[in-house]
Amino acid sequence: MKKLLLLVTLVTVFCLSSIAQISFGPKVGLNLAKYSYNYKDADYEPDVKMLMAPLVGVAVNFQFTDALALQSGLLFSGKGSSYDLDKNADEGYKYDGYSRTSTGYLELPVNVAFGIAIGESQIQIFAGPYVAYGIMGKCKWDYTVTHDGNSETYKDDYKVKFKNKVDESDYEDDENIDYQTALDYGVGFGIGFKTGPVLINAGYELGLSNLTPKWGGEGDYDNNDWKYTNGVINVSVSYLFGGK
């Protein structure tokens, strides 16, 4: 299903490029990302807050009519989550510092955009799927715990690696590794403003891919019992060359 979604996305972009006015250019922006947890039969799910991350790449606009366009591109999209240490703390404990997971993806969005003319400019509404592949990541924490007048500091960092299935051998050489599913996919939607070659977008991406890899080792373990997904608010500016 995941491979089929990617193939359909690529074929659609290729076919539509032959019947549309094409413009393209740099895109830069900011992501506000956090995980959404759904742990079945668990008493605990981490409390999270937004993590700022970069969004940069090349935007492509396929213009069919004055009002209808297909917007795509190839992006580096930073995702992850920051953890709310105060909400995660037990009663009587105080946390100072941070704990966060930062990841980076190569992402291909495909959005249908409908424009409403305002003079020479447009207000746009857009929506569509995206697929992304994880290429880098790390977990880092640096915080101090205070309880009954005593303080202790915790500080460490380790890598995030991307695999769709893991087993015991993946942890033999280094236990300080967090594994996530490589392929992330979902749907995005938002609003934009286009004036001349400048396109300003604000949107939200709802991740549908479970980031917990499947378990291929010993024991009965269902990754769907420990599901968490990406969620990203983003704002961006693109400068488009070509087209009309």
Domain boundary assignment for the chain: 2-242
Q: What is the pLDDT of residue 5?
A: 55
Residues 55-86: tens digit of each pLDDT? 999 999 999 999 999 999 999 999 999 988 87
End-to-end Cα, the chain, rounded Å? 37
Q: What is the pLDDT of residue 140?
A: 92
Cα–Cα distance for residue pair 200/180, rounded to 1 Å: 31
Chain-wide mean pLDDT for the chain?
A: 88
Contact between 162 and 136 under an 8 Å Cβ cutoff? The reply is: no
Q: What is the pLDDT of residue 94?
A: 84
Q: What is the pLDDT of residue 12?
A: 58
Across the range 209-232, mean pLDDT stands at 88
Residue 18 clears pLDDT 60, i.e. is over it: no
Q: What is the pLDDT of residue 104?
A: 97
Cα–Cα distances in Å, from 129 out to 154, 208, 238? 40, 10, 19
Confidence of residue 202 (pLDDT cuts 50, 70, 90): very high
Q: What is the pLDDT of residue 243?
A: 63
Kindly report the pTM of this predicted structure: 0.86
**132 or 85, higher pLDDT:** 132
Q: What is the pLDDT of residue 90?
A: 74
Residues 135-194: tens digit of each pLDDT? 999 999 888 888 887 888 888 888 999 999 888 887 776 667 889 999 999 999 999 999
Residues 29-53: tens digit of each pLDDT? 999 999 999 988 777 888 899 999 9
Q: What is the pLDDT of residue 93?
A: 80
Residue 231 clears pLDDT 60, i.e. is over it: yes
Cα–Cα distances in Å, from 15 out to 10, 12, 18, 55, 244? 9, 5, 6, 27, 20
Q: What is the pLDDT of residue 179?
A: 92
Closest to 147 (Cα-Cα) out of 216, 91, 224, 93: 93
Kind plus residue range of the DSSP H or E element containing 39: strand 21-39
